[in-house]
Amino acid sequence: MITKRKNTAQKLSARIGAFTLVEIMIVVAIIALLASIAVPGFLRARKRSQAARILNDLRLIDSAIDQYAIETNKMGGTTVAVSDWTNYLKKSSSLYNTGKDIFGNTYGQQTVDQLPKFPLATWNALSDVADTNFWSPYTHQ
């Protein structure tokens, strides 16, 4: 009886097999196909969110310039240095600390009563996901 159980156990363990190389290669190919479909969409979404961040920065800069002009009695057309408009932003924010966008390009001097402009390098980096209508009413330098 003990030998009968032993033979049955050996037969069961002989039937249990591992995945074949072909099966593993098919699974890897399917995963690679799904990744090749998904990754470009993720990259596009990332660039689109970067463009949205730049747009939000421009709104903050516009507000900061207006506050600066009101508090210092500056007339329309006056140039405002980066150090002046950054003082009217939230302390310890990256825009306050550097005056630069997320790509490291400086927004530069701005003008009172004119919409702020963003760097041309930023426009070039994001032009494939954000057209002119996206940036409206803002323009690049």
pLDDT tens for 74-119 read: 999 999 999 999 999 999 889 999 999 999 999 999 999 999 999 9
Q: Which helix (H) or strand (E) holds 1?
A: none
Q: Pull the structure tokens for residue 26.
A: 């098919």
Is 70 exceeded by the pLDDT of residue 5?
Answer: no
Task: Characterize 67-87 residue by residue with b for buried, 16 or more Cβ atoms within 10 angstroms of its Cβ, and e for exposed.
Answer: ebbeeeebeeebebebebbbe
In the chain, % of residues over pLDDT 70: 89
CA distance linking residue 67 with residue 90, whole number of Å: 13
Which of 46-50, 68-72, 126-130 is predicted with the least confidence, judged by mean pLDDT?
Answer: 126-130
Per-residue pLDDT band for 14 (boundaries 50, 70, 90) equals: low
Q: Pull the structure tokens for residue 124.
A: 């070039």
Look up the pTM and report it: 0.76
